[in-house]
Chain A
Amino acid sequence: MNGRMLDKVVDAAPGFIVGLVIGTVWSYALGFVSFAYGIGGLSGHATPGYAFLFHPTISILPVAILFSVLRKRNVVSGILIIAIAVALLLGHDAQNQAADAVRESGRTFLSAVIQHFRYKLSGPHSSSMNQP
């Protein structure tokens, strides 16, 4: 790394670290809100449609946009790095939850995903059920 690049990194580091901290704190805090909605759903309360806005991955977007408007690009970079990491972790965790069902299906992972979303989009196979 030459001296000029090192200067750039040193200059960007404080804002980037601030962004990482903001992203981490935000994700933790909103993670608890999502968790609370989940508990409410388990206890029989209807989860409101807007609840997904409190998902850490979604709710952090306005924060990142705010710092973009304020031209704090290094802070934004830190926030987005955390947001991407949280999103990948949550997505991977959810993917693992379906591992048993994928194995049971006898399909490849991609084929199972396609089947799942085809069902979600079009409902049951239109002529798979006979009527008496």
Chain B
Amino acid sequence: MAFPMRTNPILYALYALSAAYTFAMGSFAGYQPTNDQFPVEEAPLVRTIELIPRTYGAVAAVSSTGAIFIHNNNYLLASFAADSGKMLFNFGKSSFYASAKSGNTIIGTPPTDAQQEIQEVSASGDILWRVPVPAHPQAVTLSPDGTLYASIGYSLYAISPSHKTLWHRDDIERPAPAIASAYPLLTPSVGLDGTIYSGLKAPAIAPDGTVYVNADTGVVLAFSPSGDRLWSTSVQQNGLGGLSDPVVGADGRIYVISGRDLVAISPQGRALWRYTAPVSSYWWWMTRPAVSKNRDVYLVRHGLFCISEDGKEKWRFHPDTPGEDFITPPTVGPEGTVYLPSQGTSGGQTYALSPDGRKKWSLPLQTYSGIPVFSNDPEQVWVTSNGNVAAVSVAQQ
């Protein structure tokens, strides 16, 4: 005796539906959000400067004297003429730190050199001054008054505009000694009143796989211009996850990213709010945030999230294709346009977004993890593209 004859056709139909569901979800498992926006502006004028020789890296700076500085992850740094693309000088294995108002750049000697120095160099390779330092700085920030702040190991150095060491702090908390070398200070940031903010990276994994979460890490530290320690506040919350460089907004607030959290800190060291990006917790990339003049904060975590000054999400933006990611912070132009590079397996793009999150344009210009560099007179955005440099004219009509 069998079940009625209808049973099998019904089961076959259910089987077909469930199989279709399985394969549809199998494809959907690889879903990545994209934007469906049409560009609202015509593609801007792009001038391609063919570098001689062709050089793969990111635009570090474009000087007022007409020189482009290119650097890459192998500490290679070179300058090129912005008009002809010819190499002006190859600095070799040097660290690029900052652009000076003079059009020169602040660089560091190669990390392998016995004698470590911070130097100001011209595009043609002339060394204008040099300051010996005890070890290779991981980062140097140039304050508006010309003072240099350098993170060297777990010490913070202040160097005057006349190239004298003003002070250094060597009493910054550090992780367990076994892993200390992996967690140096990040790029310090200078506040409106000259206060220096610097962050320490948080948890660490030792070579033997042990995970340490040091109570003295995951903090933002504040020092006065004279080197006094003002406060420290812990922003790390969820164990694993790094701490980005701090960024100071126009209102003096400090913004830092811990894992997928954006944290706002008052100039007095009080955590004001915390925004958690709705992304996988695997997105721990330590990209610093960016702040616009209208106090919007931009958080890059695969997509771009625009957060208002009260910690509320205003909008989010995703790349054109699923193969692209946003992993570097955007550059915010003076009129509020957000210039944002994407990285992708089949090539990245450079996007321009209006302050309300609409796509102005996108161009297939890959920046090799570099941040678009904005220059005035005329207003242009500079990115590297396939070993060359592209200057995108973005002057408002």
**Which residues of A are in contact with B by a Cβ distance under 8 Å?**
7-8, 11-12, 15, 52, 57-58, 61, 64, 68, 73-74, 76-77, 80-81, 83-84, 87-88, 90-92, 94-95, 97-98, 100-107, 112-113, 115-117, 119-120, 124-125, 127-132
Task: List 13 extra interface pairs beyond A87-B18, A103-B279, CB under 8 A.
Answer: A64-B15, A77-B8, A77-B11, A84-B15, A84-B18, A90-B25, A101-B31, A102-B31, A106-B316, A115-B34, A127-B39, A128-B359, A130-B42
* B363 contacts across to A, CB distance below 8 A: 129-132
A91 to B8, CA, bound (A): 22
State which size class the interface on B falls in. Answer: 35 or more
- B32 CB-CB contact with A under 8 Å: yes
Known contacts A74-B2, A112-B31, A132-B46; decide if A125 and B38 are in contact (CB<8 Å).
yes
B-side interface residues toward A, CB under 8 Å? 1-3, 5, 7-8, 11-12, 14-15, 18-19, 21-39, 42-43, 46, 277-280, 302-303, 316, 318, 320-322, 349, 359, 361-365, 390
Q: A87-B21, A87-B22 are in contact. Are A104 and B27 (CB under 8 A)?
A: no
Q: Assuming A106-B316, A115-B36, is B3 touching A74 (CB within 8 A)?
A: yes
**Which residue on A lies nearest to B322, using beta carbons?**
A119
Q: Is the CB of B320 within 8 A of A128?
A: yes
A73, A119, A130: which contacts B34 (Cβ < 8 A)? A119
Interchain CB contact under 8 A, B362 and A129: yes
Kindly list the 5 A-B residue pairs having the minimum CB-CB distance in the complex, ordered from nearest.
A105-B33, A130-B43, A87-B18, A11-B1, A94-B25
A-B contact pairs, 26 of them (CB 8 A): A11-B2, A12-B2, A61-B15, A64-B15, A77-B3, A77-B11, A80-B8, A80-B12, A80-B15, A84-B14, A84-B15, A84-B18, A90-B26, A95-B28, A102-B31, A103-B278, A103-B279, A104-B279, A105-B31, A113-B31, A116-B28, A120-B27, A125-B38, A125-B320, A129-B363, A130-B363
Residues of B within 8 A of A92 (CB): 25
Q: CA separation between A91 and B20, bound complex, in Å?
A: 9
User: Roughly how many angstroms separate A11 CA and B349 CA in the complex, as a whole number?
Assistant: 66
- Assess the B15–A128 pair: CB atoms within 8 A: no
Shortest CB distance B130–A (Å)? 41
A101 with B33: in contact, given A76-B11, A124-B321, A130-B42 (CB under 8 Å)?
yes
Of B19, B28, B277, B359, the residue contacting A57 (CB under 8 A) is: B19
Q: Who on chain A is nearest to B303 by CB?
A: A104
A128 x B12 contact (CB < 8 A): no
Q: Which residues of B contact A57 (CB under 8 A)?
A: 18-19, 22-23
CB distance from B266 to the nearest CB of A (A): 29
**Whole-angstrom CA separation of A103 from B363 in the bound complex:** 27
- What is the bound-complex CA distance between A105 and B15, given in angstroms? 31
The answer on a CB contact under 8 Å between A95 and B364 is no
User: Hey, which chain B residues are within 8 Å of A113, CB to CB?
Assistant: 24, 28, 31
CB of B1 within 8 A of CB of A8, answer yes
